[in-house]
Structure 1
Amino acid sequence: MTDRIVFADLAGPVERDRTFTADEDQWLTALAAETRPEQFTLTLAPSCASTDPQPILERQLDGSWRAGRYVGELRRDGRILEIRPRLGIDTIATWASAALNLHIVPRAAQARGSTTLIAELTAALWRTALTTAARHGQPSFRAHRHHVGPAVRGRLDLPGTVALRAARSPFLASVERAKLLTNPVSQVIVAADHVLDTLLRQRPGWRGDRVEEIVPRLRAAVGGRPRLPSQRELRGVRYTPITLPYKRVAELSWQIVQHTAPQASPTDERTHGLLIDVAELWELFVLHCARRATDLPVTHGTQHHTPTPLLRAAHHPAAVLGRLYPDILIGDPQAPKVIIDAKYKPLTDHRGVDREDLYQLNSYLTAHHAELGALVYPVFDQHPLPDIQLRNPWLTQQNRVMNFVQLETSERGCTTALTTLVSVRHTDSHD
């Protein structure tokens, strides 16, 4: 029987009285030291959080272990590390459904645990990406196909024809540039479909009507169990503007197969699994709620193509150091009224505001000349509001305004709180 060690994200083992054996502690030490989260984290969407990965596991000063901000499963040497959502499966499913416009089945995930949640979320992302890409057709790409016959198809292959005539053959050799479904993109899509179907235990209807129509055609072209193409092969695919959406599908499909199906992996990696970065999901959820909370323009930091540099050389204006990418800018991106930085961590009087987060927000406000900056945290526990939040607003040395706010984890509650945050300051700016 496989040994399973269960943690909650941003916390220790779920079984609080569990004492790890020396062998288990050594296994956790090796996993923490040799596993980089970016290798196993499912890419949900462009985000600022994803550019700053954190450790999956950390040993505390007292020798205990604490999980980071990721949820999911990692398998290594016969053991499984499972990290469950601290806020519950329903909350994570709600965030993903709202932020990514996905249809997830939280009841199924709730019944079978976080493993099924990961599968449901992965399937929903993959299904949406494939459906979007297939709006303009199937993943067919032009490739050279050689023919030998009585007539020319495409252009004449002169050296091939000369060789045929030298062998006393009456046929002609030719090369046709045709659109083919037999390609690395089709292969990786079919492979991912098989993995997801297995993870979801062949649940009827999970693909949806459009995917049910697309996949059988690809399967007929590349076979039911195609070889997993390498990343080099996928990078070699030449996309057109119409087929470009399939690049996202191919990358996501490769992640699914590579990290969830060890037997399909072309490498000798000892660790396999798939993780979700909850900090990334929280950022995307807050972005979604911010867009619902105000009529002002809302810009995601990943789309702000002219970031303000942190430092500029005095005698060389083109030389800069450091780039400032706030999570969310509300108002004109060049002169935002509000800057919001989403933090997936507790806000309590005991913990306070992390110094680096405070300096980061102050840098954002100074660089962008914004009226208000806010660090927003999810509500983890229904305790009285910390004094840090009760004493809002706070002022910098330059009299810029900062707020430190816990937001409800429901879409309605989060949107309402952001509406209040933005509208109060927007009104004050006209006083």
Structure 2
Amino acid sequence: MSARIVFQDLSPLDTIPSEDERRWLEKLAQDTTTSDYVVDFGQSVAASSPGPVVQCGPDGIWRAGRYIGEIYRDGRVLEIQPRLGIETIAAWAGAALNVRIVPDAAEHAHSPGFVAELLAAAWRATVTSAARHGPPALRATVRHVSPHVRGRLDLSATLALRAARSPNVVSTSRPKQLDNPVSSTIVLADRVLDRALHRTGWRGQRIDELLPQLKAVVGSRAALPTQRSLARVRYTPMTLPYRGAAELSWRIARNRGLLANAADHTDSGLLIDVAELWELFVLHCARRAFGSAHVTHGTRLIRSGALLRAVDDPARALGRLYPDLVIGPLQHPWAIVDAKYKRLADPVGVVPEDLYQINAYLSVHASAPLPLGMLAYVDLPGQTAISRAEKLGPWGTTIGHPVRFQRLPVTADHCIAAMQQLVPRPHPQVPR
């Protein structure tokens, strides 16, 4: 059994590490590229700025970052457990994917494989929902060269054949086929998850019925499709739910950390970014509170948001400027919200870079009515003291924007109610 060092996310190590453990942590913190281990649940602004897995503070205390999961290296295991519990994290992941996630085995919720169990539950729910109307049979163009027309005649290609004295004609058809990038990606993700879980019965009846069909056409040695090939897939209204299943399957199949067994030679792992889940959870609650039409996710604004633009060529930008959420019309929003999976507690309070960030977002909207700016922190358990930033708020910018630093509840209904209370919604103008 490999030695295991256990943290909770955003928390210090509750034991004093030995000299060997300290050196191992130092090497891991220095050599680890976080993005190599993270399986994300979807596009988020937080995911574009990875943070440290663990770090040692000026006080000499080791603390875990915003990730949960495991890293295996040199005969040791770094385990980071969710401080909010696996049920809360599963609920956030379900909100991010718009599916209901129920871990299949509750006894695994606090085991070393809890991240694999969570990913399996998310994958199972997404694929089962997509397969409700059948397997991912997609139409693909097939070219036929024969004496008979099958489907649509390709006139130019046929004329070329006739010019070469061939008796054949060229035609094309678009039959439904299971041998496609979506099927291959689902099969590969299933293989990775199955090896990680080491137990039977985790898929559920619908997936157990679907997989033999897919494996029969893609084979046992299918290559992982590229993201570009998945992006080129054209879905019908019936197969559109498979887009989300294919994207999640691709991220799981790409990350080989699920196959780690903590052997001495292993250098792999798997992490989930809790900051990404918090951002997507807050986005879900905002859409429930104000309606999807009134909430824009920051990932939609990546191309237009910039801190600086070249005077001679405005298309060239320097620095990114897009918040997590914009509530209300983009030109005249009601609120600009940035989700922060951090402690909001004294004496640290709000860190300066977050103050500069929200002020930069608000500076773009300098005409009345001025939007509310809000940094949405997570209400972590056991934190009863109200910080100075909360106690003295709301605050105001030099232009006059109201600004709040707010801890939001971790359950959907309470978070929705809090956002509806905090974000002012303008009254419609009554014609005279």
TM-score by length of 1: 0.79
Q: Deviation at 1:87? A: 1.8
1:75 maps to 2:72: yes
Contact kept? 1:37, 1:55, Cα under 8 Å: yes
- Superposed CA offset, 1:369-404 (max 9, x none): 442101111112331312220111111111211111
1:414 maps to 2:415: yes
Give the match for residue 287 of structure 1: 283
Q: 1:314 to 1:384 in 2, by over 3 A?
A: same
SS at match of 2:105: helix
User: Map of 1:227-376 to 2, 5 A cutoff?
Assistant: 227=221, 229-230=223-224, 235=228, 239-242=233-236, 249-257=245-253, 258-262=255-259, 271-294=267-290, 297-304=294-301, 307-369=304-366, 370-376=370-376
Contact kept? 2:104, 2:121, Cα under 8 Å: no
User: Map of 1:81-160 to 2, 5 A cutoff?
Assistant: 81-106=78-103, 108-109=105-106, 111-113=108-110, 115-131=112-128, 134=131, 135=133, 137-139=135-137, 142=140
Which letter maps to 2:48? T
Contact kept? 1:342, 1:377, Cα under 8 Å: yes
Q: 1:396 to 1:175 in 2, by over 3 A?
A: closer
Unpaired stretches in structure 2, ≥5 consecutive residues: 154-167
SS at match of 1:80: strand
Which letter maps to 1:376? A
Give the match for residue 168 of structure 1: none
Cα distance in 1, alignment partners of residues 405 and 24 from structure 2: 38
Which letter maps to 2:2? T
Q: Deviation at 1:132? A: 5.6
Which shows bigger deviation, 83-92 or 47-56? Answer: 83-92
Give the match for residue 17 of structure 2: 19
Cα distance in 2, alignment partners of residues 220 and 63 from structure 1: 56
- Which of 8, 27, 30 aligns to 1:30? It is 27
Q: Deviation at 1:203? A: 4.8
Cα distance in 2, alignment partners of residues 293 and 103 from structure 1: 19
Contact kept? 1:12, 1:65, Cα under 8 Å: yes
Which shows bigger deviation, 119-128 or 51-60? Answer: 119-128
Cα distance in 1, alignment partners of residues 192 and 302 from structure 2: 37
Q: Deviation at 1:328? A: 0.9
User: Map of 1:30-49 to 2, 5 A cutoff?
Assistant: 30-49=27-46
Which shows bigger deviation, 80-89 or 311-320? Answer: 311-320
User: Map of 1:54-65 to 2, 5 A cutoff?
Assistant: 54-65=51-62
Q: Deviation at 1:342? A: 0.6
1:213 maps to 2:209: yes
Q: Deviation at 1:137? A: 4.6
Q: Deviation at 1:93? A: 2.0
Cα distance in 2, alignment partners of residues 245 and 294 from structure 1: 24
Cα distance in 1, alignment partners of residues 398 and 192 from structure 2: 55
- Superposed CA offset, 1:253-301 (max 9, x none): 344344235489xxxx953222110001011111111222235811111
Q: Deviation at 1:88? A: 1.9
Contact kept? 2:341, 2:377, Cα under 8 Å: yes
Matched residues, number: 400
Cα distance in 2, alignment partners of residues 338 and 308 from structure 1: 16
Q: 1:387 to 1:305 in 2, by over 3 A?
A: closer
Which letter maps to 1:5? I
Cα distance in 2, alignment partners of residues 389 and 65 from structure 1: 28
Give the match for residue 389 of structure 2: 388
Cα distance in 2, alignment partners of residues 289 and 17 from structure 1: 37
Cα distance in 2, alignment partners of residues 373 and 261 from structure 1: 39
Give the match for residue 399 of structure 1: 400
SS at match of 2:91: helix
Cα distance in 2, alignment partners of residues 67 and 47 from structure 1: 21
- Superposed CA offset, 1:338-367 (max 9, x none): 111110000012111110000000011111
Contact kept? 1:84, 1:114, Cα under 8 Å: no
SS at match of 1:323: coil
Contact kept? 1:311, 1:321, Cα under 8 Å: yes
Give the match for residue 8 of structure 1: 8
Cα distance in 2, alignment partners of residues 263 and 294 from structure 1: 43
Identity %: 45
Q: Deviation at 1:106? A: 5.0
Contact kept? 1:310, 1:367, Cα under 8 Å: no
Q: 1:334 to 1:137 in 2, by over 3 A?
A: farther
SS at match of 1:332: coil
Cα distance in 1, alignment partners of residues 26 and 385 from structure 2: 37
Cα distance in 1, alignment partners of residues 203 and 331 from structure 2: 42
Q: 1:197 to 1:422 in 2, by over 3 A?
A: same
Contact kept? 1:58, 1:65, Cα under 8 Å: yes
Which letter maps to 2:335? V
Cα distance in 2, alignment partners of residues 200 and 368 from structure 1: 50
Q: CA RMSD in A?
A: 3.7
Q: 1:282 to 1:142 in 2, by over 3 A?
A: same
Q: 1:421 to 1:118 in 2, by over 3 A?
A: same
SS at match of 2:307: strand
Cα distance in 2, alignment partners of residues 107 and 247 from structure 1: 24
Which letter maps to 2:19? T
- Superposed CA offset, 1:299-340 (max 9, x none): 111123663432234454444322311111111012211111
Q: 1:388 to 1:88 in 2, by over 3 A?
A: same
Which letter maps to 2:390? Q
Q: 1:145 to 1:342 in 2, by over 3 A?
A: same
SS at match of 2:347: coil
Cα distance in 1, alignment partners of residues 251 and 302 from structure 2: 27
